[in-house]
Amino acid sequence: MENTFTASRDSFAHLHPEARCYHFKAGSHFPYVTHSAEYTAILEEVPGLTPASANPEVTL
């Protein structure tokens, strides 16, 4: 039997065929904290996304 995550992911993929799915094998529910470099690299691949601030020291 499929787990809920797999069923949800597959459902979303069916509705949005242009979407990409990434899965971090470890690191909890907060990949932007536990795998920040990898997470940021993925976001930088998406066209049109730019940093909220040119200064990385600024917290928005």
Residue 49 confidence class, pLDDT cut points 50, 70, 90:
low
Averaged pLDDT score across all residues of the chain: 77
What local confidence, expressed as pLDDT, does residue 55 receive?
58
Query: pTM for the complete prediction?
Result: 0.53
Separation of alpha carbons 54 and 33, rounded Å: 20
Least confident span in 28-32, 36-40, 44-48: 44-48
Structure tokens at 1: 């039997």
- Which DSSP string corresponds to 3-59? -HHHHHHHHHHHH-TT------SSSTT-HHHHTHHHHHHHHHHSTT---S-SSTT--
* Residue 9 identity: R
Task: List the domain boundaries for the chain.
Answer: 22-51
